[in-house]
Amino acid sequence: MRLIQSKILPINWLEAIQNFDISNSTLSENNKIFATYLIPIILEEKEKSLANSLCRILIQYIIFKIDFLKFYDNLPPKLIEDTFDEIKNERGIYLVRKLHSIFIEFLTYQDLFNKGYIISDFTREQGSCYLIMSKDGQTYNFEVKFKESPDVGKLRLYDYIDGYSLLEKNKFLSGKNIKINLKVDSLNDSNLPIILKEINIFIDKQEDVYDGENIQIFDSNKKSKQSRDINQVLKISNSSNIERIDDIDKLVCDIFIRNNGHLTKLIKKSGRYKSKDNFTGCLIWSIPFHINIDNDKIKNAFKKINLNFDLFVYIVDIGKDEFNFFIPNKS
């Protein structure tokens, strides 16, 4: 469930974005780089850019003077520029997902920077590691892998509605507690466009309840008109319960090792490097908000894996504090 924001953009908001003077703004130097890449996307996508949380934050900074990305001033500017150059053709919800991955990687850089590592080589050749950093006179090749549970995507559906609620024509959404129930097992690239179309129908109809083929949306503050079909009620009920997973060893194996998972990819890539190259893995795992996993069991599961390289693991637990740990190589 999400409480939808209550601000409304002025009619001329796009004109304000177009006339925004980046160079003379109060943005930090790094945030000026973000704005330089994002404003053309906003002007191209217009209303659609509101579905992108990063574009939306910049729009709100320009229109409402809210804070914009205060935590990225220690990133090397070239790292930001190179990263945005790699995704310049992405748009829509796929850009949102890519940007989420990138900003997780930025946070990884910040953690390594705080541990005393500094970037020693910005070269991004085909097949090279994501970060080449140095510490105490030694060079380290960091390969960063980000794994996101499909269920995390449900949060973006709320962001999608939240973004469009900024428009005057959609102000009926302002301040409502919106509840989304999926009628599909998971979000994926094949059903996501269809589900977004259904959300657009919900917004266009301006009704309190939408009950579609793939998704159900309603204002939780009002009596729901949802179907009382017993199977549907059970499915909705189960989707809102906290899911506890105890067999963490199997979960880690299924997600990160089998079917060429990210750990398997790291193991394969490590074979291209010699010991003097200090190949190091960085694995970021974004866990869905409705899953409860014991942190110690996660760490123990990774400890049991036989790796010939050091591994940093970052657990991004949606709605909770991050949990990070280090697994030294066993060679």
DSSP string for 150-203:
GGGHHHHHHHHHHHHTTSGGGGGGTT-EEEEEESSS---TTTHHHHHHHHHHHH
pTM over 0.75: yes
Cβ–Cβ contacts within 10 Å for residue 69, how many? 19
- Rounded to an integer, what distance in angstroms lies between the CA atom of residue 239 and that of residue 2? 15
pLDDT at 296: 85
Q: What is the pLDDT of residue 320?
A: 53
Delimit the domains of the chain by residue range. Answer: 176-241
Per the CB < 8 A criterion, the answer to whether 280 and 141 are in contact is yes
pLDDT of 228: 47
* Beta partners for residue 39, in sequence order: none
The tokens describing 47, both together, are 């209303």
What letters, b where the CB count within 10 A reaches 16 and e where it falls short, cover 37-65?
bbbebbeebebbbbbbbbbbbbbbbbbee
204 by DSSP, 3-state: which? helix
pLDDT at residue 126, as a whole number: 67
Question: Residue 82, by phi and psi: left (phi above 0), alpha (psi -120 to 50) or beta?
Answer: alpha
Please report the pLDDT score of residue 99 as a whole number: 78
The reported pLDDT for the residue numbered 15 is 97
Residues of the chain where predicted confidence (pLDDT) is lower than 50: 223-231, 233-243, 289-290
Longest dimension (CA), the chain: 66
Look at strands 310-317 and 279-287 and give their pairing. Answer: parallel
